[in-house]
Amino acid sequence: MDFSQFNAAEQAHMSRVIEKKQMQDFLRMYSNLVERCFTSCCNDFTSKALSSKEEQCMLNCADKFLKHSERVGARFAEQNAVGPGLSSLQTITMPHPLVGKPAPPLTTLLNYDGEVYEFIPEKVNAPTALFFFPKAGTYGCTREVCQFRDALVDESAFKDSKLNVIGVSPDPVDKLKAFAEKHKVTYPILSDEKGDARKAYCPGKGLFGLTEARVTYFINQDGTVRHNRLTGINIPTHRDALDATVNYGAHVKFVSKNLAELEAEKKKDAEPAASEPAPTAAAATDAPTADAAPAAETTA
């Protein structure tokens, strides 16, 4: 759905309607998760606490359910595409005000090692994936952070582009330090306790305002928040209520897609120069040269 034809009040109303629907979908999915895993795993009611076998069963069940939900969500978005390269998820996402504009610098936040980390987008000289996540140590955030860590090693597009990855969390430095060391994180994770980064980037809230949103920004090498030139879609983030809670795996995929599109743009820009025909030998022979003198006319 294109919101550009609506005024500000109508856009705000539509956003509230969409958020309400997303919240209902999330609660329905969460209820199904609890019912399925509890019914499948908890059989002994003689104790208040779960047995180790029951607890492991619950973890396995939840992991399988979340992966299934992620796959279903991805397929649903693909099947409901309404135009070239435009998914149903993207059609309900309004352009972010930072699209096509310089990404705000971050110069005062502490990295998990306690040192001030300066991020000045236009000086990085490489594309950057800047992702905001709600809480270190939770299941979804841990998986997301580790997926970015692994992609930097395993994904050729991440390595070839020299992608700069930065995580931002509202957690304090000491908690981020323990979290990063436990999971062997190889890129900066910045502590945004005062909310300065969130004020600058406006990622908003997730789950109908109940939690901090999980948002990823792709920033071009020139320091601007990416605008997709190939499809014309102004979407710098991958975000909706379900992604903020469940679809943690979508963020690495979003960055991979942007890297692929960036490479396609480079090839497209190089096409005109490569397609210009080289002058033929005959044309070169027929063409006059500066040294050639005009033939003298003879008169009878």
As a whole number of angstroms, the distance between CA 61 and CA 38 comes to 9
Structure tokens at 121: 């987008």
From residue 267, give the alpha-carbon distance in Å to each of 201, 204, 224, 261, 262: 30, 35, 20, 10, 9
Which of 37, 41, 42, 141 does the annotation list as catalytic? 141
Residue (of 155, 131, 122) closest to 250 by Cα position: 131
The predicted-structure confidence for 236-258, as pLDDT tens digits, reads as follows 444 322 344 456 778 888 899 88
From residue 63, give the alpha-carbon distance in Å to each of 40, 67, 175, 236: 14, 6, 24, 29
Is 37 in the active site?
A: no
Q: What is the pTM of this model?
A: 0.61
* CATH architecture, domain defined by 8-91: Orthogonal Bundle (1.10)
- For domain 110-267, which CATH number applies: 3.30.420.40, 3.40.30.10, 3.20.20.10, 3.80.10.10? 3.40.30.10
Domain ranges of the chain: 8-91, 110-267
* Mean of pLDDT values over 55-70: 77
Query: What is the percent of the chain with per-residue pLDDT over 90, rounded to a whole number?
Result: 32
Least confident of 6-10, 124-128, 139-143: 6-10
